[in-house]
Structure 1
C-alpha cells in the first residue's frame, strides 16, 4: 500500500460528533460512502478508487469511532 496517502488530505475528523467531514464542501461522509464520494467521475474529487479505498481504511482503522450510519448533525 502507498504509505503517503493521508485521510487528513481529504477529511477532518470531528471527535465531538464522530464524523469525517469532507474538507472541500464541509459535508459529513460516513465510511461506507467514502469510496463513492471520492471517486465520483464528476466534481472536484475524482481520485483513483484505490486511493479512496486506502482513505476509507485509514478512517476506519485510525480515527476513533467514526459513525458508519447517517445521522443528523448541526450545521
Structure 2
C-alpha cells in the first residue's frame, strides 16, 4: 500500500491537490499503477494478480484495465 502512495505522488507531486481529479483521471492513475510490475509480487503486476483472484467482469465494471509496460507512465504528464 505504501508503494501505491509513492506511485501516486510521482503523478501528483506533494503540494498538488487531489480535489480537482475526475473519476476518469483517478482510474487512469490506478490503471497505470496497477500495471507496474512489483518485486514483492514476483515480477507480476497487481492487475495480473487481480485477474487470478477476481472475476474479469468486476474489473471491467470498475473500468480497471491493463496498460502495456512500455506505455505505463508514472509522471505528471499522465494527466495532461
Q: Same fold (TM over 0.5)?
A: no
What is the TM-score when the length of structure 2 is the normalising length? 0.31
Q: Larger C-alpha radius of gyration, 1 or 2?
A: 2
Greater RCO, 1 or 2 (C-alpha within 8 Å, sep 6+): 2
What is the TM-score when the length of structure 1 is the normalising length? 0.33
